[in-house]
Structure 1
Amino acid sequence: MAGRPKIFNEQEAIQKATEVFRNKGYDTASADELLNAMGIGKGSFYLAFKGGKQELYVRSIKQFAESFNQKITMAIERSEDQIEFIRQFFLALADAEDCDIDRGCYLGNALVQLSEKDEDIKKITAELLKGLQKIFARTIKKAQENGQLKNQEDPEILAWHLTNLWNGIHVTRRMENSPRILRSMIEMNLKPLE
C-alpha cells in the first residue's frame, strides 16, 4: 500500500513556508506557524517532509534559489547591457530597506544560517552559490567576447568575486544599513566590471 495520496501542492506549500522563514528565520519559525501558512496538517507535513522542519527549510531554499536564478538569468538575457544590469543589481542592494525578494536576501541570509548546521547542508549551500556564480561567469565571458568588458581576467574568478560580494553584502547589511556606506563598498568591489 502506497499510503494516502497528497492533497496539496508541494511547491505552493513550500512557497508559503518560505514567507514564514523569510519573516521569522529558521530558528524562530514555529511548526504551528509553518503548518498554518502551508494549510496542511501534521500528518500530511511529515508524509511529505520526512526530515521535518529542516527538510522543509532546505527545500524552501532550493526552490527559492531555482526561481531566483531563473529570474536573474531572464533579466540579464533581456538586458541590452548585461554588465550594467549586474552593476545595478548590486547597487540596488545598498538602497533596499528590507529583505527584498528580487535581490535574493532570503537566500543570502538562509545560506549563512544553513552553512552552520552540518556538512551535508554545507554542500547543498555551496551548490546553490555555484548556480549564481555560473550565471555571473556566463555573462562576463559573453561580455568579454563581444568587447563589452575590457577586463580579460578569468570569467570564473570574476564571477566568484561577484558571488563573494553578494554573500558579503548580505552579512554586512546585518551590521551596517547606511545606503551611502553600502553603495561605496559595492562600487569599490564592482571596479573589475568597468
Structure 2
Amino acid sequence: MSKQNTEMAGRPKIFDEKEAIDKATEVFRNKGYDTASADELLNAMGIGKGSFYLAFKGGKQELYIRSLKQFAEEFSKKIISAIEHSDDQIQFIRRFFLVLADAENCDIDRGCYLGNALVQLSEKDEDIKKITAGLLKNLQKIFATVICKAQENGTLENSDDPEVLAWHLTNLWNGIHVTRRMEASHETLRSMIEMNLRILE
C-alpha cells in the first residue's frame, strides 16, 4: 500500500513537525496568514490532511501560532548567540537595526515575520498577542543586558536607565515594521533609525 493510501486508510505517516512548521512558515511569510491556502501549506509541508489534522487539531490557526512560536524562539536564540560572539555588542545592535532599512526580504535575522504578525494580528488573537508580546519582552531584556554592560565598561556614554533605553530600542524595532508598511524609501527609514540610535552614543 502506498504512503498516500496508508494515510487515507487512517494511519497518517510520521513526519518531522519542526521541519514541517519551518516550511509552513515560509508560506505564511510569503503569502500572509489570510492568503495562505490549506493546499499550499500541505504541499509545502509535504504531508496529507490526515497527518496535518492529527498534529494540528486546531487547523490552520494552530499551525500559524506554532509557526510564530517556533520562529520567535529561534529568532531570540540567534540574536543572543550573535551578541555573545560579537566583539562590539553596541555596534552589533546598531547594525541589527540599520539592516532593517535596506531589507527587501524578511529572514530570521531580521525578524520581520514576527513584526508583521504583531502589526496585523496580535489584537485579533490572544495566543498570537502573547507570543509577540513575549518576543518584545525578550528583546528588551537582551538590549538592557548589553546596555548595562556597556555603561559599566565605559563603551557607552549615555547614562540613562538601561531598562528605559532598552524599551526605546524595542519600541523602535516594533515601529520600524509599522513604518516599513507605509514608507518604502530606504533612505528615509535609515535616517529615522539613525536618529533613534543616537541613544547608543
Provide TM-score, normalisation by structure 2.
Answer: 0.90
SS of residue in 1 equivalent to 2:109: helix
2:18 is paired with a residue of what secondary structure? helix
Q: Offset at 1:6?
A: 6.0
Match of 1:117 among 119, 124, 129: 124
Hey, what does 1:45 align to over in structure 2? 52
**1:37-96: per-residue Cα shift (whole Å, max 9, x none)?**
001111111111111111111111111111111111111111111001100111111111
Aligned AA for 1:141? C
User: C-alpha distance in 2, partners of 1:179/1:14?
Assistant: 31
Q: Once the 2 structures are TM-superposed, how far is the Cα of residue 155 of structure 1 from its aligned partner?
A: 1.6
The question of whether the paired residues in 2 share the 8 Å contact of 1:136 and 1:162 is answered with: yes
Paired amino acid for 2:82: A
SS in 2 for 1:102: coil
CA RMSD of aligned residues (A): 1.6
Report the Cα distance in structure 2 between the residues aligned to 1:154 and 1:5, rounded to whole angstroms: 54
- Normalising to structure 1: TM-score of the pair? 0.93
Q: Is the 8 A contact 2:65 2:127 kept in 1?
A: no
Sequence identity (%):
83
Higher relative contact order (CA 8 A, sep 6+): 1
What corresponds to 1:181 in structure 2? 188
Q: Could you tell me how far apart the structure 2 residues matched to 1:6 and 1:56 are?
A: 18
State the number of aligned residues. Answer: 192
Cα separation, 1, equivalents of 2:161 and 2:13: 48
**Which stretches of structure 1, 4 residues or longer, exceed 3 Å deviation after superposition?**
3-6
Q: Mark the runs of 5 or more structure 2 residues left unpaired by the alignment.
A: 1-9
